[in-house]
Structure 1
């Protein structure tokens, strides 16, 4: 049995399990929002360090500036987030962990929901996301099959439905038209050229998708 067939059988099994009646409660009140399996959670960007560098070269909307994204899953009265974390790699963990970390850093958390027309793809996306767990974080942001970064993880999860699309990456500061100094030094330390123009994706690009609509911001305790 070849690898492609094995992978297809695993995804089909996970999708079936996900849809079993009573297997998972797909909607749950959390903080001030009613969260659903398949919602995407975006972490607000800061103005400095890696967070600021990501946002400077990718921000598309004045009121949306994000540096991280994950997929929510409601199961057994708990909300989990599936994401590619710089500290932990690709993991499924309670949303409380991300909320606590974001509150400590003073970061916004925004929840976006798929359009009704695209929600049918959620079970397969969750199954695919779970099949990607355990991979390390991709610090080069150059696409490969052995490591993942946050928006890459989400795009791959929904790839079968063509929900999001890869675009040429840019690391140029829009104010200067030149490679952002942070990124120039970042890739110099990695011993590689800045991957300008190579295919990729980013949280701000995903948030701007016409297939998503903002549900609201989580109210975090100070």
Structure 2
């Protein structure tokens, strides 16, 4: 009888140890899974990768500075409790506050990805006022001319203005020159010709690739 008790006791211990080890493995797997999730922060900048053709490709053609940065759109993340929104200026809807899930879906539907950038720690203090400023600009129409205008905004223009008080970004002379030919990109030549406007070569402006290249930002990861 005593041998049975000893055997039974050993089996109980083995079952308990096995159960504890199983729980530990599950916890380790769960922790690893969670560590791979993006921890979004208020004021994060969401950059959208550029396409190779059309307006997206034309923007990237004359503004891309490095292979790692190839973007044609940008928005500011705003966290309100457990809800998250993107403050941005887009052709459809103008300057708007869009639910993050809808924003991500729109990009994925177009075959584009979202890359998260974040202000470096020493510039984080600029975020509250920038988010407040961005909210004050909502409702303005989209600037389809891409020439700075106080009554309408395009995507990088919207973001630059939001952070302007803290000098996070800077306006630079725009260029529409195709680096491969040294001449004005054919898309932009026709684009402004149809609008009866002169190509605004050299005028101050900004673009997503330029903002992504700021030394005040750090790339976090893909969404």
Which TM-score band (shorter chain)? 0.7 to 0.9
Bigger Rg, structure 1 or 2: 2
From 81, 87, 91, the equivalent of 1:82 is 87
Of Structure 1 and Structure 2, the greater helix share is in 2
RMSD: 1.1
Is residue 154 of structure 2 the alignment partner of residue 149 of structure 1?
yes
Unaligned runs of 5+ in 2: 1-33
From 59, 66, 77, the equivalent of 1:61 is 66
Matched with 2:173 is 168
Unaligned runs of 5+ in 1: 1-28
Shift of 1:95: 1.1
Could you state the TM-score of these two structures normalised by the residue count of structure 1?
Answer: 0.83
CA distance in 2, matches of 1:179, 1:71: 31
CA distance in 2, matches of 1:191, 1:86: 20
Matched with 1:213 is 218
Superposed CA deviations along residues 97-147 of structure 1, whole A, max 9, x for unmatched, are: 111111111101100000100000111001110111110000111111000
1:33-182 paired onto structure 2 within 5 Å = 33-182=38-187
* SS of residue in 2 equivalent to 1:34: coil
CA distance in 2, matches of 1:108, 1:172: 26
* SS of residue in 1 equivalent to 2:139: coil
* SS of residue in 2 equivalent to 1:93: strand
CA distance in 2, matches of 1:174, 1:32: 38
Shift of 1:32: 2.8
* SS of residue in 2 equivalent to 1:176: coil
Matched with 2:10 is none
Matched with 1:5 is none
* SS of residue in 1 equivalent to 2:161: helix
* SS of residue in 2 equivalent to 1:96: helix
Query: What is the count of residue pairs matched by the alignment?
Result: 189
* SS of residue in 2 equivalent to 1:130: helix
Shift of 1:78: 1.5
Matched with 1:200 is 205
